C-alpha cells in the first residue's frame, strides 16, 4: 500500500440519503492527498469516504483511518 501513496486515487462519498454517483467522485494526483482530504473534510458530516487506488483496490473508511494514522506518524 505504501508504494501507492504517490500514485493517483479517486475519492467517492456515499450517504444514506443518496446514491453514489460517478460524477461526484474526486480525482487526486496522489493517494496521500486523497487520504488527507477524506480524513479532514466531512461534507455534511454524514457522507462516508471510500477511495479507489490506481491498482483498483477499494479502501474502506477503516483502512483510510489506519493509513491516515500511519502517514501522520511519518511526519
Query: In the block, which residue shows the cell 474526486?
Result: 26
The predicted pLDDT at position 22 comes to: 73
Q: Is the pLDDT of residue 34 over 80?
A: yes
Cell (9 digits) for 14: 456515499
The string of pLDDT tens digits covering residues 4-23 is 889 999 999 887 666 666 77
What residue segments make up the domains of the chain, in order of their start? 2-55
The predicted pLDDT at position 20 comes to: 62
Distance CA 19, CA 13 (A): 9
Query: In the block, which residue shows the cell 479507489?
Result: 52
Averaged pLDDT, 53-62? 93
Averaged pLDDT, 52-57? 94
Q: Give the predicted TM-score (pTM) of the model.
A: 0.82
Amino acid at each position: 500500500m505504501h508504494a501507492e501513496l504517490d500514485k493517483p486515487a479517486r475519492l467517492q462519498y456515499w450517504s444514506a440519503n443518496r446514491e453514489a454517483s460517478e460524477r461526484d467522485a474526486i480525482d487526486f494526483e496522489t493517494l496521500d492527498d486523497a487520504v488527507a482530504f477524506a480524513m479532514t473534510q466531512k461534507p455534511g458530516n454524514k457522507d462516508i469516504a471510500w477511495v479507489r487506488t490506481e491498482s483498483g483496490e477499494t479502501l474502506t473508511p477503516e483502512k483510510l483511518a489506519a493509513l491516515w494514522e500511519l502517514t501522520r506518524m511519518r511526519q
